Amino acid sequence: MTADLFEGVLDVGPARQKIADGATLLRGFAKAFEHDLMPALHAIIAQAPFRHMHTPGGHQMSVAMTNCGSLGWVTDRSGYRYDAIDPEIGKPWPAMPAVFLLLAREAAARAGFAGFAPDACLINRYEPGARMSLHQDRDERDFDQPIVSVSLGLSAVFLFGGPKRADKPQRYRLQHGDVVVWGGPSRLFFHGVAPLADGEHALLGRQRINLTFRRAR
Ligand code: SIN
Ligand code: FE2
């Protein structure tokens, strides 16, 4: 029996697509967590509302953000950083719900990164027209830890490039429940999101929400 065939026999669970060395797209992986995930998400947003942050250059981002976990990613005039305190509220970010941790850990493990224990979850809200330009996730301490990205609501075109900004990105349509994990050789690859097309999602309405789990410290 060839290795491929053997893997096919044992490979239970949602489809797994390699998109680069160290990067995996897990179609529909988050759907099994939906029942607990959605109320947990709404509770976080009620405690730490979405806000449009500013880049160090002074531009307001089209994506609205909030965080949960012991650290949250923030950007303002002084730069990008992880902070334990929500600057809008002056209090710690909401704790990371158990279902978030479980989803992130299981997705990472399925993509080949066992033992992932995120301490930060950035929550991005895209309304029609919102986009995220190509960037690297490099504010974390340990690049041996992967990034786990969960897509909810309206679908979007995810751009996944290479180690250089000029590398032409591949385009992937991400739908509700899809998860992308990148680490190892592609941990610092440029990525972004094309402007969100208008639409209506049965659970989330006129928006896309993305959860990105990171090990910041
Ligand atoms: C991000 O890179 O932080 C967000 C990616 C996404 O929204 O899919
Ligand atoms: Fe990112």
Q: Is 179 in the pocket of ligand 1 (CB under 6 A)?
A: no
Pairing of strands 79-83, 170-174: unpaired
Determine the distance separating the centroid of ligand 1 and the alpha carbon of 115, expressed in angstroms.
22
Rounded mean pLDDT of 107-113?
A: 98
CA-212 nearest atom, ligand 1:
3
- The rounded distance, in Å, linking the Cα atoms of 65 and 133 is 15
Give the 3-state secondary structure of residue 106: helix
What pTM was computed for the model? 0.94
Q: Is the pLDDT of residue 101 over 50?
A: yes
Question: Pick from 104, 179, 107, 171: which is nearest to 134 by CA?
Answer: 171
Determine the distance separating the centroid of ligand 1 and the alpha carbon of 210, expressed in angstroms.
6
Q: Is 193 in the pocket of ligand 1 (CB under 6 A)?
A: yes
Determine the distance separating the centroid of ligand 2 and the alpha carbon of 160, expressed in angstroms.
10
- Residue found under tokens 């909810």: 152
What CA–CA distances, in Å, run from 10 to 6, 13, 18, 22? Answer: 6, 10, 17, 21
Rounded mean pLDDT of 39-60?
A: 97
Give the 3-state secondary structure of residue 196: coil
CATH architecture of 8-214: Sandwich (2.60)
Q: Is the pLDDT of residue 5 over 70?
A: no
